[in-house]
Structure 1
Amino acid sequence: MTDANPYLLRLVEGRWFQALPDSLRQALCGAAVVRRLPAGQRLFARGDAPCGLYCVVEGAMRISVVGENGKEALLALVEPPNWFGEICLFDGQPRTHDAFAEGATTLLQVPQVPLQAMLTQHPEYWRDFALLMSHKLRITFAVLEELSLLPAAPRLARRLLMIAEGYGESSTCKRELHLPQEQLAAMLSLSRQTTNQILKDLEAQGILRLSYGGIEILDRDRLRDAAHA
């Protein structure tokens, strides 16, 4: 039994892993090691050397970057069953962002050396990793478009749906999001006050229920309508 086997059911919830050929699934699981991080621990920092591919199987990872003024820009919360870290696999360049555990988090890591050996032996697998990266690129373009064109309220509604649906990776839609309003505001480049007001409006309409550090989606269809208002 490999270290990844206890998490296989979680892995197959992800659309990317589902679509992989069986041989690549087995190779990834066979090479994977379990990493457990306490809340707040940094996995890697911007500028670090490549260290492999990761999948979140429990908890969440905060992907961010700190500017010269010391302000942190939160880019995404990576939750199960999302994979990340594939950019460095293609170009061999240093890490582009910081990654911290958001609460106690369990990861599967496929280290860089066995990953490269796998691809050398099976170059046909490159296409599967390219599909993983192209999916992230499409999300990035969508987020940039929303920042440029959408008012704050529909932008917030779209991001909630995106997170609930695992950025298009999860085969299920989560009802409860463990997402503090401060983090949501940071992801959307909105003030805390604006974010709170929009969430309160959605709660008053019966679309959401707010709690300390969390957001419960009560009516996904109406939230989708709000995202396209």
Structure 2
Amino acid sequence: MLTETSLVADLRRHHLFSRLPEAALQEVCASANLKRLPAGASLFHQGDKAERFYFLFSGQVKLHRVVCDGQEKLVEVIRAGESFAEALLFTGAPNYPVSATALKASLLASLNGPHYRRMLEQHPSICLDILGTLSIRLHQRLNEIDTLTLANASHRVVRFLYQSQEDDSGVVTLDVPKRLIASKLGIQPETFSRILHRLIESGMISVQRRRIEILDSRGLAAYQD
């Protein structure tokens, strides 16, 4: 059961719950479990039975899967204030298609999927908000597919830098390890580091620990290697 006032308020601000009547939200909280995961702990594994979805209060969780060649592929990094696995409420998929592992010490709400779906049937207007969010995620996945299929390694890194900059400021803050970014881009960690080094040598970016600054936006856009 989820009872802490501040956590319930965090849940209420999320689009999955913001339009629920108070009584309905209390039902959701009554069927929820609070989970604390240390860094490196698994929440669920690819192929596990999918009956719960999750909201992350604090920390970071990576969603990843093992592909046909046996390598781990990063799908997404979940950050505080985000939900995940809710799409399975609509697909009817019986099993999780990915694994979930804490990157940092994390606090989550584990939510009853079938119960929440029954509540949506009573409040169908909420489905429009959910569809909007799922459409955004689909668009993001399509962009990632374009990047992986149409671009070489250098172009993938350049595209990542442009898409990750903060409010077009030219500043990118890496909040996950470089090896995970490389995995998401479909390249080896050493390839990612080598491309960054070339961009530094070319005067297009500067790197200080986890902070990358784009120094020559026009040159970076035209970068060929």
Give the alignment's TM-score, normalised by structure 2.
Answer: 0.76
Residue identity opposite 1:216 in structure 2:
R
Q: Residue in 2 aligned with 1:217?
A: 212
Instruction: Tell me which residue corresponds to 2:20.
Output: 24
The corresponding residue for 1:42 is: 42
The answer as to whether partners of 1:41 and 1:101 remain within 8 angstroms in 2 is yes
Partner of 1:89: 89
Amino acid in structure 1 at the alignment position of 2:125: E
1:73-117 deviation per Cα after TM superposition (whole angstroms, max 9, x unaligned): 222222223221122100221211111111211223332143123
Aligned to 1:53: 53
Instruction: Say if 1:226 and 1:54 are closer, same or farther in 2 by CA, change over 3 A.
Output: farther
**How much is the aligned-residue C-alpha RMSD, in angstroms?**
3.5
- Please report how far the alpha carbon of residue 142 of structure 1 lies from its aligned counterpart in structure 2 after TM superposition: 0.4
Q: Which runs of 5+ in 1 are unaligned?
A: none
Per the alignment, residue 62 of structure 1 pairs with 62
- Please state how far the C-alpha of 1:141 moved relative to its aligned partner: 0.5
Matched, 1:199 2:196: yes
Q: Trace 1:132-211 onto structure 2 (pairs within 5 A).
A: 132-160=133-161, 162=163, 176-204=173-201, 205=203, 207-211=205-209
What amino acid does structure 1 have at the position aligned with 2:191? T
Q: Match of 2:184, as an amino acid?
A: M
Cα distance in structure 1, aligned partners of 2:222 and 2:61: 28
In 1: Cα distance, 2:185 partner to 2:16 partner: 32
Distance in 1, matches of 2:98 and 2:218, equals 30
Share of identical aligned residues, percent?
A: 27
State whether residues 46 and 96 of structure 1, in contact with CA within 8 Å, keep that contact through their aligned partners in structure 2.
yes
CA contact (8 A) 2:7 2:57 kept: no
- AA in 1 matched with 2:189: R
- Aligned match of 2:122: 121
Q: Are 2:204 and 2:220, in contact at CA under 8 Å, matched by a contact in 1?
A: no
- The SS at the match of 2:143 is helix
Task: Give the Å deviation of 1:225.
Answer: 7.2
The answer to whether the 8 A contact 1:53-1:112 is kept is: yes
* Corresponding residue SS for 2:139: helix
User: Number of aligned pairs?
Assistant: 215
Secondary structure in 2 aligned to 1:131?
A: helix
* SS in structure 2 at match of 1:218: strand
- Partner residue, 1:226: 220
Quick one: structure 1 residues 22 and 59, their matched pair in 2 at CA, closer, same or farther if it must change by over 3 Å? closer
Query: Partners in 2 of 1:116 and 1:226 — Cα distance?
Result: 46
- In structure 2, relative to structure 1, the CA distance for the partners of 1:55 and 1:156 (3 Å cut) is farther
Unpaired segments ≥5 residues, structure 2: none
